[in-house]
Amino acid sequence: MLMGKPSWLISEVSRLAHPLLTGKLGTAGSRGYHYRLLAALQEFGPASQASLGRRTGMDRSDVAAAVTELAVRGLAGRAPDPADRRRNVISITPAGTAHLRRLEELLADVQDELLAPLSAAERQQLTRLLTQILEHHA
């Protein structure tokens, strides 16, 4: 009974995926938060830290810490917002774009390893179904 429950199966797959993901990203000196922020900046352009938190599902304090780490490494820039000097606008740098490409390659490796028993069509179907669930609950 337990092993037939989708919620349990999703949890177990997540338990398997997490160490694969953290290990691969760690080889590039990064974490999942770094990827999320760089990908959001690449996709949506410069944004406030609060906006980045909403887009990535990250807590504000985690966004602030990860942005600081990215800025120290030259992967993201932080500048005062001309419309509101009390907040910063975060942007991806050229080095951040290059680093994001590297992280994308590592994530592709993680997907291949995790989803090895599935065909390309099954992977697409799984992605579609999981997306449908997330969108329903968003």
In a domain, 129, yes or no: yes
> By C-alpha distance, which of 96, 78, 79 is closest to 28?
96
Could you report how far apart the first and last alpha carbons of the chain are, in Å?
A: 28
Q: Does the pLDDT at position 84 exceed 90?
A: no
Could you read off the pLDDT of 18-72 as tens digits, one per residue? 999 999 999 999 999 999 999 999 999 999 999 999 999 999 999 999 999 999 9
Asked whether residue 56 is assigned to any structural domain, the reply reads yes
In the chain, the number of structural domains is 1
Q: What is the pLDDT of residues 91-122, one digit of tens each?
A: 999 999 999 999 999 999 999 999 999 999 99
Answer whether residue 83 shows pLDDT above 90. Answer: no
**pLDDT score of 82:** 86
pTM: 0.89
- Domain assignment present for 3: no
**pLDDT exceeds 90 at position 17:** yes
- From the list 41, 43, 44, 21, the residue with the least C-alpha distance to 103 is 21
Q: Which structural domain, as residue segments, surrounds residue 52?
A: 26-137
Residue 15 counted as domain residue:
no
Q: Is the pLDDT of residue 1 over 90?
A: no
- Asked whether 76 and 67 are in contact (CB, 8 A), the reply is yes
pLDDT at 131: 96
104, part of any domain? yes
Q: Which residues are CB-contacts of 38 (< 8 A; sequence separation ≥ 6)?
A: 70, 75, 76, 92, 96, 97, 99, 100, 103
